[in-house]
Amino acid sequence: MIVEKAMVHPTSILDGGVVLGDGTRVWQFCHLQAGASVGEYCTLGQNVNLGPGVRVGNGVKIQNNVSVYQGVTLEDQVFCGPSAVFTNDRTPRAPYPKGPGGYLPTLVREGATIGANATILSGLTIGRWAMVAAGAVVTKDVPAHQLVAGTPARAMGWVCRCGHRLDREFHCPACGRQYRMRGKIKSFPKP
Ligand SMILES: [Zn+2]
């Protein structure tokens, strides 16, 4: 276990081989399983679980009661709202466990937000700076900067890096950033 200048509350448990970056804070009742790694200046709220070998980037904020299961990766500056749910098996059966070889990986890319109590099915990618609304159930990939909401989650619009919704010209009224659509996606989802 390597802990340098990171803060770990005494009620939390770090298994062997866990690495924490400088400035990271791990609050009460967390369990970081063997080989999990967390970058610099992250915050893990109360009752956060990281599965074996899970990788968390820099500047990530994980709110209370989030389990990041084996197969899930969080890139830099991801935000996980309280009680967000990850999964790693789409067809689980108690008597037929698949084991790590059968897990579908989930990738949450840089800057993305997972809202409170949202559920992310396995085998998906949440794009850079995407925003998953609270309570959404995400069943397919989410493109970068897209806002998705509902059950199952549907595209509701686009969001700025700062989190504000973009107008129809892909302009952010809050911070002034201007975006341009590239690639195949041309339609602006109806709100
Ligand atoms: Zn903005």
Q: What pLDDT does 191 receive?
A: 43
* Ligand 1 midpoint to CA 78 (Å): 17
Residues counted in the chain: 191
Please give the Cα distance from 173 to 54 (Å, whole number).
37
- CA of 178 from ligand 1 middle (Å) equals 8
- Tell me how far the alpha carbon of residue 172 lies from the centroid of ligand 1, in angstroms: 5
- 22: how many CB neighbours lie within 10 A of its CB? 12
Ligand 1 centroid to residue 175 C-alpha, Å: 4
Q: How far is the CA of 182 from the centre of ligand 1 (A)?
A: 18
The pLDDT profile of the chain, 191 residues, written as one tens digit per residue, is 544 689 999 999 999 999 999 999 999 999 999 999 999 999 999 999 999 999 999 999 999 999 999 999 999 999 999 999 999 999 999 999 998 899 999 999 999 999 999 999 999 999 999 999 999 999 999 999 999 999 999 999 999 999 999 999 999 999 999 998 887 655 555 44
This prediction's pTM: 0.93
CA atoms within 13 A on the CB side of 102: 9
Tell which residue, 76, 100, 80, has the closest CA to residue 88. 100
Centroid of ligand 1 to alpha carbon of 122 (angstroms): 29
CB 15 within 8 A of CB 3: no
Whether the Cβ atoms of residue 116 and residue 134 lie closer than 8 Å to each other: yes
What was the pLDDT predicted at 183?
72
Nearest of 59, 57, 56, 76 to residue 67 by alpha carbon: 56
